[in-house]
Homo-oligomer: A and B are copies of this chain.
Amino acid sequence: MALDHAILVSLLERPGSGYELARRFERSIGYFWTATHQQIYRVLKRMEGDGLLDVRDVPQRGRPDKKEYSVAGPGRAVLAAWLHEPIEPESLRHDLAVKIRGAAFDDPAALIHEVERHHRVHGDRLAHYLAGERRDFTGPGAPSPPDAARELQHVVLRGGIAYERMTIAWLDDVLATLHRLGRTAPPA
């Protein structure tokens, strides 16, 4: 149930509604954790029922009212307890790697367009991360000295940047390999 913890962290960084959380999971938090709005609404409701979160109705002008959630004392305690527990080092779920190995039993060259598409997506993500880094951390408008929360957000973002750079370099390697196989071993 790390989604619970990701929500607690996000709400500690800034209280917000389910809808706002869902959008954060498409952006900053979503760089390393994904969730759909249905999942978020369900978990928010459960956590509120368990007393981990406070809610308050916020009327809005020009748009529907929202429920703004914030972390209650017990929620903070739950997060602190989790922070002191060891967790399993992450393991990957990489569909594309399955496809690449599977391509040996089909036409390797047919994968080139798919890999190029992934290459573009990761290039876009990298550009997006770098823009965010300039805006929030290294650009002229970024506050200094930054506090612990910002420093930690920055080091996580640097991880995302390193991940995208590594992935792009690897996809170049994959493309070179597929091209080489296409030349030397045409498909049956």
Contact = CB atoms under 8 A, between A and B. Distances in A.
A77 to B, nearest CB: 10
* Identical copies in the complex: 2
A101 interface: yes
B98 A90 contact: no
A32 B97 contact: yes
A148 B84 contact: no
A185 interface: yes
A114 interface: yes
B90 A96 contact: yes
Contact of A103 (B83, B121, B162, B180): B83
Nearest to A155: B177
A172 B41 CA distance: 36
B151 A159 contact: no
Interface stretch (A8-16, A43-51, A52-60, A130-138): A8-16
Interface in A57-111: 76, 79-80, 82-84, 86-106, 108, 110-111
7 contacts: A13-B104, A76-B105, A89-B118, A94-B159, A97-B156, A148-B185, A163-B170
